[in-house]
Copies of this chain bind each other. A is one copy, B any other.
């Protein structure tokens, strides 16, 4: 039996064991072809099938409507910070950004080189403890889109409600991708790196409303144009074959689990287990995030002091509960509970947290 630790890594992170075992079985000789999939042309029959299946499954599991297409683009969400304004902002148009933490700020900073952008809301003064309500977001005249970060991996914040907005939404969903339904009519574009909820590192998935590609800008290098990727079915250049292949398997696994409805419920329930331990600890564990904005993916918490946090992390590690350290920029602890995280691992964490508090660890 394969040894598996409880892996709470914030990304890259846990994948379903079944998927890893399938990859292992196929990696040297893919379906009797006498070669590995990673040795094959990306324009050949085997890869075609892998590519088409991953794309179709993603559109299906996400519940994306007909008027959206899906692109696979390398460079992660980070390259999208540039590609979104490059492609969406025509001269005179503005991009609005809701600043909820590190990732939203990154998107905002990069976008500033490719158009006029402004902060429509900024949680900095409050120390990034929550997502804004719709009425708090101030949009200026001439705004093309409102960019939000649906879940802040570092701060452990999420938009529990999608904002109501008079302009189309654009969302970076890297850290809660495929864990909640999307109200598609409000969106022009949804993107995210796949390396948390969906597969190995190496690409972003970009869901884009087809209609916005008709007015595409042509003064960009081809790799940076959404319309080029869309017209070529994400095969404009060599795609990240292995990442697409494994992501397709994870999507199949998600579908087999019952799809988005089940995944969302499990995410909510898994997170609730940990928050309950925090909330019933008489203040021993503290979550700095306002209750309504608490992430279902990244549960951040503090202990009474840093020395205890250090002891907690070491003891957790010894108990095979690994990667619970908070992001280096904020410290503390963080349990990332992405889609492939079994409930048994979350229960093991909860038991450990109770035991640690009561001195039994």
Q: Which A positions have Cβ atoms within 8 angstroms of B?
A: 2-5, 7, 9-15, 17, 20-21, 23-24, 27-29, 32-36, 38-44, 74-79, 81-82, 106, 109-111, 113-114, 193, 195, 200-203, 219-224, 236-243, 246, 320, 322-323, 328
**B110 and A221 contacting across the interface, CB-CB below 8 Å:** yes
A200 to B203, CA, bound (A): 14
Instruction: Say how far A349's CB is from chain B's closest CB, in angstroms.
Output: 15
**11 A-B residue pairings within 8 Å (CB atoms):** A3-B34, A12-B38, A12-B40, A14-B35, A15-B39, A24-B28, A74-B79, A75-B79, A76-B223, A78-B223, A202-B243
Residues of B within 8 A of A241 (CB): 12, 200-202
Instruction: Say how far A160's CB is from chain B's closest CB, in angstroms.
Output: 26
> Which 7 interchain pairs have the tightest Cβ spacing?
A82-B221, A5-B34, A74-B74, A110-B221, A202-B240, A78-B237, A38-B200
Residues of B within 8 A of A28 (CB): 2, 17, 20-21, 24
A14 to B110, CA, bound (A): 38
Chain A interface SS verdict (over half): loop
Identical chains bound together, number: 2
Contacts A9-B39, A14-B39 known; 12 new A-B pairs at CB < 8 A = A4-B34, A5-B33, A7-B35, A9-B41, A11-B41, A12-B40, A44-B323, A74-B75, A74-B76, A79-B224, A82-B220, A82-B221
Residue of B nearest to A47 (CB): B12
Instruction: Say how far A326's CB is from chain B's closest CB, in angstroms.
Output: 12
Residues of B within 8 A of A23 (CB): 27
**B75 and A7 contacting across the interface, CB-CB below 8 Å:** no
A28 to B17, CA, bound (A): 8
